[in-house]
Structure 1
């Protein structure tokens, strides 16, 4: 059972965890022991509320496939238990990040002083470049 918030929980049957061999350094241990975790979570078949599902499917995240399956590969740690916990934590973070409401951006104009500073720096840079040119005698 993975607790997302006070009201939302995911059952164990909804999350598919597979142990696979890790990539990278680690010597003979990497070739023998399946410590990495491959997590799959089907958004459409899950018991998440409809709002969560909509926002998750609307995310443009590389970890979410076109058929609505979240795939997370955890291989940072040397033990399977830590990688499993890491994968579950990352799934929870992804679900919670989808629910964060972005503030609306209010368009503002640059201040007069910032405009003059910008133009001064541009003209100063232009003068520096002119001085690099050919010298006429």
Structure 2
């Protein structure tokens, strides 16, 4: 029975069960004439991230990336109303969710290692500064000795 549940593959390591997604159709705002007042074409996708079984580090990055779209309960809300059909908005919401999870699955870059200039580079810089200083000192007023 467990095998029959549909899964959405994010990457080789992570997949999302459709049971963790909840879609609600709402009326979209914007252009569309009378159709926009009659048909609920916009999709509000709720992903239950806290219960989805994602690795802990991925879950933390996902909530951080989601920002205001994340709720206190650990759900992620995505609204899609770009298109005029329910089906296309549903696909758009799922694609955006998968892209968000894929970004969260990428490990953060390692911290930058501090480097020091080489001894030769420091000497060359000081020598150049001394040379520039000498040139500027020569620009003073000429005295008649």
**1:50-77: CA deviations, max 9, x gaps?**
3322322344612112221100000000
Please point out which of 24, 29, 48 is paired with 2:35.
Answer: 29
Moved more, 50-59 or 8-17: 50-59
- Does 2:22 correspond to 1:4? no
Unaligned runs of 5+ in 1: 113-137
Map 1:42-121 → 2, pairs under 5 A: 42-59=48-65, 61-103=67-109, 104-105=111-112
- Which structure 2 residue ranges, 5 or more long, are not aligned? 1-6, 116-124, 126-145
TM-score, with structure 1 as normaliser? 0.70
- CA–CA separation in structure 2 for the residues paired with 1:79 and 1:65: 27
For the residues of structure 2 that align with 1:107 and 1:26, how far apart are their CA atoms?
56
Structure 1 counterpart of 2:139: none
In terms of mean alpha carbon deviation, does 30-39 or 47-56 score higher?
A: 47-56
What is the root-mean-square deviation in Å for CA atoms of aligned residues? 2.2
Q: TM-score, normalised by structure 2?
A: 0.66
* Secondary structure in 1 matching 2:53: coil
Q: Deviations over 1:28-70 (max 9, x none)?
A: 0000111100000111111323332232234461211222110
Aligned residues: 110
For residues 59 and 67 of structure 1, the distance between their equivalents in structure 2, rounded to whole angstroms, comes to: 16
